[in-house]
Amino acid sequence: MAAICYLLLYLISGAAIIRMLLPKKSPVVRVWLGVSLGFLLLMQLPALMAYAFDFSLKAHAAAAALLMAMTGGCFFLRERSEAAMMRGEDWRLLGAMAAVCVPLTLLSGYLQYTHMIMPAADGSYWCGQSTYGDLCMHLSFITSLENMSFPPSYNLLADTALSYPYMADSLSTTFLLFGMELNMAVIVPGTMLMALTYAGYMILAHQIMGDRGKAIAVAALLFFLNGGLGFLYDFDMAGRDHFAKISEIFTGYYKTPANQPDHNLRWSNVIADLMIPQRALLGGWAMVLPALYLLISSARARSMRQTVMLAIWASALPLVHTHTFLALALFSGGFLLGRMIIKPEDVKGILLRACVYLGIVLVLALPQLLGNAIRQTVEGGSLRLQFNWVNNSGGRGMIDGYFFFWIKNVGLPFVLILCACFHARKRGYADILLGMTAIYVVAETILFQPNEYDNNKLFYIWYMFGAILAADYGSIIMQRLAGLGGRRLLAALFILVSTLSGGLSIAREVVSGYQLFGRNAVAAGKWISENTDRDDVFMTGQQHINPVASLAGRQIICGSDLYVYFHGLDYGAQARACRSFYEFPEENGQILEQYGVDYIYVSDYERADFDVDYDALDEMYELVYENPDVRIYRVGDTGESKN
């Protein structure tokens, strides 16, 4: 209850700030912007106060005081005009949103519940297919941030600062601090951020296309149920193989139509494979949609007030999700160039507002980027050129023909996007098109992470607008087919073909279930949380399913290369140190002293990965906890043995 009350404080304050600063916006837009602002401030203010008070309840109290001061300050900056009331257009938008957002939010709440350490009757924790890999990493950030001194450290690798965008995870840490159970602390903000993303996308589509509820709903379906033409590979020869491929969609591990690397199908469904497992991306999307809305609105209204709000909002994004911040920057550049082409009479005004926007962002965001993204991308050696994304994997040559790759991955909407590009100026979308193009060109030519697949985080922002243009062009086709029998059937077939792969991928997630932590691992994690200090350091193996780091939030020497490698970190020395100690503890006691190790953790994973010398461990260190799967030894204060 305390966590919910604290959340409501931010949501109410966010709504009040938007009401004071943007009263002329429709009530639907004001509520969405206000709730979004509340979440953004809930990410930012406690983290800011943590530099003085650690990420603690004291920091959250200080953040609440700062929130009240900011809300009061906005009263003096308020726009002195009557607030806009609901109009017919707003009610129609609300109806379209209810038809799409409510079912998707209910689905999302169910997936969050089943995919985020769902407790089983035997005490084990379960997850879904898409969260089996990433969830443990996010849990490690959530649990380790509790009462951590800032700047935060990376609990998956010793002596390393946290360079991952952590603020979406810190939301869950806030709920933990206020007494919420770990699984609910993940589920509640996750579900709400997904709801904000659904609502925000439809409001953005309304801003671009106007009062066209059906087209807005179609755009949302094309984006959130995306998946391309991968289902054709599963349905091909289905009669001869007795529908085995179709059955495997629901039983295999990553055999869904939208994600089949063997067939060069990489256009993963955004709900199943991005919004559910990738919490930083989810936070980024929920927060970038208001920024995109303010960008377009400030340009159309020639509003310096909205430009300043946009700049401050954008500046908060690097530590929420860096790829999303980059996508916003690219889109902003192309969009503002397009505005100068469309509105040559306002070039001076556009340049002035652009300079204000850029200046504020550079002052506020550049320090965050220098300390995080640039360190990871440039110093880590991840930045490189590669044309055509994963279709030219490793720069070894194209796998599919260029357009065939995109058509089979994005599906029929890609054809409509291409057609819409030729009508963009006539439809008044030239600025949107240039913004999209800026993202597309960079994502097609430059890689920023060790995993080339991660450029999809840029491509999907491009596709946010692409799906809107596709829906708009589709509506033109429908108008021109007026009076033709069967045109509604044609439209239904288009939507079915465009969403079937995504729908099947989501259905697979609904029925998926994997044990993540066994009951003994959960018990060990609970013992560690209750009986060790938060700053204690543990020697563990490199398994990604690690209750020490994920459930208890303790510092370990070296986490899974599934995480540390793709974060661009050099972890060789720590990995070698772990192996050397487990296999030869008598000769390597200095490793414990080097890394300040307080406890040694031995589970089935360590037994499988190392030739653990049990006799030496039993002789040298005190066994303080044991269950059928786990043994924990305490190290002396200086890394010395009990002898």
- What's the pLDDT tens digit per position in 149-160? 999 999 999 989
- For residue 74, the cross-strand partners are none
603's torsion region: left (phi>0), alpha (psi -120 to 50) or beta? Answer: beta
- SS3 (DSSP) at 349: helix
Q: Read off the tokens for 455.
A: 């450029």
Class of domain 139-162+518-634: alpha beta
Predicted local confidence at residue 485, as pLDDT: 81
Predicted local confidence at residue 638, as pLDDT: 41
Predicted local confidence at residue 316, as pLDDT: 96
Predicted local confidence at residue 85, as pLDDT: 95
- SS3 (DSSP) at 624: strand
- What are the angstrom distances between the C-alpha of 461 and each of 202, 288, 435, 447? 14, 9, 10, 16
Nearest to 571 by CA among 67, 158, 171, 106: 158
Percent helix, strand, coil in the chain, to 5, is: 65, 5, 30
Q: Which residues contact 433 (CB under 8 A, 6 or more apart)?
A: 338, 421, 424, 469
The dihedral through the CA atoms of 344, 348, 353, 359 has a sign that is positive
- SS3 (DSSP) at 537: strand
State the DSSP code for 635: P
Predicted local confidence at residue 639, as pLDDT: 44
Q: Read off the tokens for 397.
A: 């040559």
Question: What is the tens place of the pLDDT at every residue in 567-610?
Answer: 888 889 999 999 999 999 999 999 999 999 999 999 999 999 99
Give the amino acid at 415: V
CB distance 608 to 597 below 8 Å:
no
Nearest to 283 by CA among 204, 368, 361, 194: 194
- Tally Cβ neighbours within 10 Å of residue 242: 9
H or E segment at 634? strand 631-634
State the DSSP code for 427: H
Q: Are strands 125-127 and 514-517 parallel, antiparallel or unpaired?
A: antiparallel
Q: Which residues contact 340 (CB under 8 A, 6 or more apart)?
A: 346, 347, 350, 351
SS (H, E, C) 394-426: HHCCCCCCHHHHHHHHHCHHHHHHHHHHHCHHH
Q: Read off the tokens for 198.
A: 């659904």
Predicted local confidence at residue 378, as pLDDT: 52
pTM of the model: 0.95
Stretches in the chain below the pLDDT threshold 50: 638-643
- Token pair 């049990």 is found at 614
The dihedral through the CA atoms of 186, 534, 321, 510 has a sign that is negative
Predicted local confidence at residue 370, as pLDDT: 81
Q: Are strands 631-634 and 622-626 parallel, antiparallel or unpaired?
A: antiparallel
With 0-12 CB in 10 A as exposed, 13-18 as middle and 19+ as buried, what is 606? Answer: buried
Predicted local confidence at residue 641, as pLDDT: 47
Question: What is the Cα–Cα distance from 105 to 83, expressed in whole angstroms?
Answer: 29
CB distance 631 to 613 below 8 Å:
no
